[in-house]
Amino acid sequence: MQISIVIPAHNEAAYLKDCLDSFVDQTYQPNEVIVVDDNSSDATFEIAQGFAQNHPWIKVFQRKSVDEHIPGKKVVDTFNFGLSQTSDFDLIGKFDADIVLPPDYFEIMVNHFQANWKLGMCSGLLYIKKGNDWIYENIADKGHIRGPIKLYHKACFHKIGGLRTGIGWDTVDTLLAKYHDFETETFPELHVKHLRPTGHGYSSKNYQAKGEALYKMRYGIVLAKIAALKMAWQAKSPRLYIQMIFGFLKAFLLQRPHYVTRQEGKFIRKYRWKGIVSKL
């Protein structure tokens, strides 16, 4: 299977070498890895160029963008820039520059895709370093395919219409895959090292954007409150809940455009409620 991987990278010099080394060491190497240097001010481009000189299947592009950190939108815009440079592929991946893959990662992924024609997207699990140990990064259920290690089958990727440019893109893609009757799966035996743990250091504005994303996914106010409460509990921040609900209501009043159609939204609500009831 032809594999294309796009790695958006902004000031990733501290992690990029270890990341690309893990791609080079794969038992089943991707056909191409496209690193998009997004306006970096460190040695990100030079490190990527060094790999590209030694490995022709690693390609490097530079993208000029604003310096402002725009969660969700900036990384998806950079990914889409890289996507426009890809060759034909069967599997397309959006990977971060601060991860280290086990050497058999793509070999196992390909085996699963070939064995299950309904598999639309999959990944391993992310682990962070704590002391001398690598432990599961417990900010999402183990069945959730995390944003830094997304691998899609081409049919699924095209059916869901690519990635949404905003916060929540790495949730709505999974929901839309299920809507279109694709399966999504994580494989717990594949431990991916996350060199820079995901933090909760979002600003008030960014948490409001998370609430807006729930509106754009047509969650409805009750589901949005449950999702916001869960995130606030995980972050141990009651204020986060208020900010997210404010963002949801603001998007509702301003009638922001949705990520999904009414029919897709109906499916998403039903699917989420079914998941909640199953845990009671």
189 part of a folded domain: yes
Encode pLDDT of 76-92 as tens digits.
999 999 999 999 999 99
Buried b (16+ CB within 10 A) or exposed e, 220-252: beebbbbbbeebbeebeeeebbbbbbbbbbebe
Q: Copy the structure tokens of residue 251.
A: 């998007």
**What is the Cβ-side half-sphere exposure of residue 239, based on CA atoms within 13 angstroms?**
7
Residue 47 and residue 118 in one domain: yes
Overall size of the chain counted in residues:
280
158 part of a folded domain: yes
Residue 210 and residue 269 in one domain: yes
Encode pLDDT of 262-273 as tens digits.
999 999 999 999
Residue 161 and residue 106 in one domain: yes
86 part of a folded domain: yes
- Dihedral sign of CA atoms 12, 13, 14, 20 in order: positive
Distance between CA atoms of 200 and 217, rounded to whole angstroms?
A: 22
50 part of a folded domain: yes
Query: Mean pLDDT lowest for which of 64-68, 138-142, 194-198?
Result: 64-68
For the CA atoms of 264, 91, 59, 26, what is the dihedral angle to 10 degrees? 130
Distance between CA atoms of 48 and 45, rounded to whole angstroms?
A: 5
Distance between CA atoms of 25 and 148, rounded to whole angstroms?
A: 19
Q: Which domain holds residue 50?
A: 3-194
183 part of a folded domain: yes
Residue 137 and residue 30 in one domain: yes
Q: Copy the structure tokens of residue 188.
A: 């717990």
56 part of a folded domain: yes
Residue 153 and residue 209 in one domain: no
* Confidence (pLDDT) at 140: 81
* Confidence (pLDDT) at 206: 75
Residue 119 and residue 227 in one domain: no
* Confidence (pLDDT) at 200: 43
Please say if the pLDDT value at position 248 is more than 90: yes
* Confidence (pLDDT) at 52: 97
Which of 171, 194, 217 is the last residue in one of the domains?
194
Confidence of residue 280 (pLDDT cuts 50, 70, 90): confident
Residue 186 and residue 64 in one domain: yes
Which of 194, 215, 250 is the last residue in one of the domains?
194
Please say if the pLDDT value at position 257 is more than 50: yes
* Confidence (pLDDT) at 67: 66
Mean residue pLDDT across the chain: 93
Query: From the CB of residue 202, how many other CB atoms can be counted at a distance below 10 Å?
Result: 17
**What angle is formed at CA 202 by the lines to CA 198 and CA 205, rounded to 5 degrees?**
150
Encode pLDDT of 161-175 as tens digits.
999 999 899 999 999
Residue 162 and residue 187 in one domain: yes
Residue 189 and residue 215 in one domain: no
Residue 235 and residue 187 in one domain: no
Q: What is the number of structural domains in the chain?
A: 2
Residue 107 and residue 15 in one domain: yes
199 part of a folded domain: no
Distance between CA atoms of 203 and 218, rounded to whole angstroms?
A: 23
Please say if the pLDDT value at position 201 is more than 50: no
Which of 140, 163, 194 is the last residue in one of the domains?
194
CATH number at residue 25: 3.90.550.10
Residue pair 217/256 in contact (Cβ under 8 Å)? The answer is no
Encode pLDDT of 9-45 as tens digits.
999 999 999 999 999 999 999 999 999 999 999 999 9
Tokens 């481009």 -> residue? 45
Encode pLDDT of 98-155 as tens digits.
999 999 999 999 999 999 999 999 999 999 999 999 999 988 889 999 999 999 999 9
Burial classification of residue 254, based on how many CB atoms lie within 10 Å of its CB (0-12 exposed, 13-18 middle, 19 or more buried): exposed
| Percentage of the chain exceeding pLDDT 70 | 95
Residue 139 and residue 10 in one domain: yes
Helical residues (DSSP H) of 55-104, grouped into ranges: 73-83
Residue pair 229/186 in contact (Cβ under 8 Å)? The answer is no
pTM for the model stands at 0.92
